[in-house]
Chains A and B, each alone.
Chain A
Amino acid sequence: MVAEKARVLNLVQAINEALDLALARDERVLVFGEDVGRLGGVFRVTEGLQAKYGEGRVFDTPLAESGILGLAIGLAMGGMRPVAEIQFAGFLYPALDQILSHLGRWRHRSRGWVGLPVVVRAPYGGGVHTPEQHADSPEALLAHTPGIKVVIPSSPERAKGLLLAAIEDEDPVFFLEAIKLYRGVRAEVPEGYYTLPLGRARVVREGKHATLIGYGGMVEVMLEAATVAAKEGVQVMVVDLETLVPLDEDTLLEVVRETGRAVVVYEAMRTGGFGAEIAARIAEGAIDHLQAPVVRVAGYDAPYPPFSAIEHHYRPNARRVLAALRRVLTY
């Protein structure tokens, strides 16, 4: 499954490679959105693809998010495998009706007759001083919608395999890419076509004293906190959920049972965020193993700040994660 050679790539390059391979492998795959063609995307994720596959396979759409999602739904109905880009996850909102009323529901409302193998890619999250509305993390909105899957990779080699799996998947998948990681992480990425299964959480660092649970852009923050904690003799397990829907509850409960203490980290606002779901599942499934309440480290109950000077107060960092760790360790 995994090809032999590996090169060091960043997240943008890894995703670009996945799209390239998907376009080459399956004629039904189409890549479209605002500015993805000639420009190659505002983050250059689709760079070079239009030149290679032509304007029929990789194309720019009018500036209309609901139209893009509606187009993707219709194309999938007709047997294509669309991969749509929404330029920023905070711009998904005009398309929510298409997502909530249709993309997630068509299979169910047609009793399995109309399945929609659509992938929607969208950059999300903060940490790079973007303007207003460009740093939102709407994953909980999506995860709360039946019928769609939500995948958030945290590294280039995972992103490539997960995106290819998402494109092969028969259901709609939202593939959220942390903007902070686009050029901020580099890793060895195997060459060639490979997929990684959706719906599995993975332990990225072992530890016995407490568990940190998060995804996407928060994985490196959790690892940073774990490294600091290790210097103080505290061994912290770090879990990357990777797929929010379907959630790998088995792994989640297993790791919490091992350490008895859990901190959930996410950069969306706290109330009703996906971390609340994680905390609730832990309470339902592993309360007997808990030695402290589950603590959330999240954004504040306010819009993501458009003022870059104070952004770092909103977006969880290692310091806040360490404070939360202290709370669960000293409870």
Chain B
Amino acid sequence: MKPKVIRYLDKGEFPIGEGEALALYRAMRRARFFDEKALLLQRQGRLGVYAPFMGQEAAQVGVALALGEKDFVVPSYRESAMLLARGLPIHTLILYWRAHPAGWRFPEGVRAVNPYIPIATQIPQAVGLALAGRYRGEGWVVATSIGDGGTSEGDFHEGLNFAAVFDAPVVFLVQNNGYAISVPRHRQMRVDYIARRAEGYGIPGVVVDGNDAFAVYLEAKKVVERARRGEGPTLLEALTYRLAPHTTSDDPSRYRTREEEEAWRAKDPILRLRKALEERGLWGVEAEEALLGELEEEFAREVALADQAPEPTPEMMVEHVYAQMGPDQRRAWEALRQGKHVEELW
């Protein structure tokens, strides 16, 4: 039996509060604005390799806004929208993607950790972080995110199994965007819905229309509360699509068709939510223009902040390897600080 795909938009349903709906829209629009600007910055050589998330805003923002203040997100590299929605300052995110040291230390109070580059390795770590909250009596919930391809990794399975066995308060968001770089889902796995795998671990699996912000947000709220009550983890599969390349170094025309992309563009999560807001009289051209103006201003301010970060110095390479430098880091640090290489010190 096929799982039911939870969906509200395009059916004229408006199942959440108007304030929440507007907050979702603003956060998604802000994230999209960042994504578009980030791609421009990358092309100007002002950003390193960047992984765009365009098209996946509802999945990421929906889950991020369903979390409470003390909860954590443990993201992979495509979750910039999630990080922004959790309060990571734009200039920190820009510095992160510039591979600038100042962007790799998140400000205190941001309940998110640095994005993970290796695939699925964050999954068992998220379980550990969730259990730490239980040990410390803080009761925080952890939301961690992975793509469809990532679910083929061993760490995905080990992590879900651990979470199930320990009833860890974790929400595993799978952003099923159809591709692991170029490999389509059907060459990645033989199951039709990834959420079905949940049964193999003895935990619930839920499928939502990942381009429907209402569906993601409402289901995420349910499973976050479930985790908080001590009832354990949930696998939340969001069916979505990345409208942009895998990274700025990728060329999706080699593995997917323009028709497919156009079909998904029509299901753009931002347009769908905006339509629902407009139908209810909550949004319009003026509100949109005002928001874009705000975002433009904010972005310019944040880029300027990022540009002010001082150039990294060579000795930073050997800092923070250990809590205190060992003799080998110390010697290298001295050399680099003097503008030398370590061999010159002998």
Query: Which residues of A does B touch, CB under 8 Å?
Result: 28, 30, 56, 61-62, 64, 66-67, 69-80, 82, 94, 97-98, 101-102, 107-115, 146-147, 149, 169-171, 199, 245-250, 284
CB atoms of A75 and B155 under 8 A apart: no
Partner of B104, one of A30, A109, A248, A284: A109
Minimal beta-carbon separation of A61 from chain B (angstroms): 7
Chain A residue contacts of B106, Cβ below 8 A: 110, 113
Query: Which residues of B does A touch, CB under 8 Å?
Result: 101-102, 104-106, 113-114, 117-118, 121, 123-133, 135-136, 154-155, 158-159, 161-162, 165, 319-324, 326-328, 346
CB atoms of B159 and A111 under 8 A apart: no
CB atoms of A80 and B322 under 8 A apart: no
Minimal beta-carbon separation of B65 from chain A (angstroms): 22
CB atoms of B136 and A73 under 8 A apart: no
CB atoms of B327 and A66 under 8 A apart: no
Q: For B346, give the chain A residue with the smallest CB separation.
A: A284
Complex alpha-carbon distance, A248 and B117, angstroms: 34
CB atoms of B161 and A75 under 8 A apart: no
Partner of B162, one of A56, A62, A76, A79: A62
Q: A67-B124, A73-B128, A97-B118 are in contact. Are A108 and B162 (CB under 8 A)?
A: no
CB atoms of A70 and B320 under 8 A apart: no
Chain B residue contacts of A69, Cβ below 8 A: 124
CB atoms of B327 and A70 under 8 A apart: no
Closest 5 A/B residue pairs (Cβ): A74-B128, A78-B132, A70-B124, A246-B326, A67-B158
Chain A residue contacts of B135, Cβ below 8 A: 28, 30, 56, 75, 78, 80
Partner of A66, one of B124, B130, B320: B124
Minimal beta-carbon separation of B146 from chain A (angstroms): 13
CB atoms of B105 and A113 under 8 A apart: yes
CB atoms of B162 and A102 under 8 A apart: no
CB atoms of A111 and B158 under 8 A apart: no
Q: A64-B161, A109-B104 are in contact. Are A70 and B123 (CB under 8 A)?
A: yes
Partner of B128, one of A75, A115, A245: A75
Minimal beta-carbon separation of A31 from chain B (angstroms): 13
**Listed A/B pairs (18) with beta-carbon separation below 8 Å:** A56-B135, A67-B127, A67-B162, A70-B124, A75-B131, A76-B132, A78-B129, A78-B135, A80-B136, A94-B154, A101-B117, A102-B121, A107-B321, A109-B104, A110-B106, A110-B114, A111-B320, A147-B322
CB atoms of A170 and B323 under 8 A apart: yes
Q: A73-B125, A114-B113 are in contact. Are A67 and B322 (CB under 8 A)?
A: no
Chain B residue contacts of A199, Cβ below 8 A: 326-327
Chain A residue contacts of B104, Cβ below 8 A: 109-111, 113
CB atoms of A112 and B319 under 8 A apart: yes
Chain A residue contacts of B328, Cβ below 8 A: 246-247, 249
Q: For A248, give the chain B residue with the smallest CB separation.
A: B327
CB atoms of B319 and A249 under 8 A apart: no
Complex alpha-carbon distance, A108 and B99, angstroms: 13
Chain B residue contacts of A77, Cβ below 8 A: 113, 125, 128-129, 132
Minimal beta-carbon separation of A77 from chain B (angstroms): 5
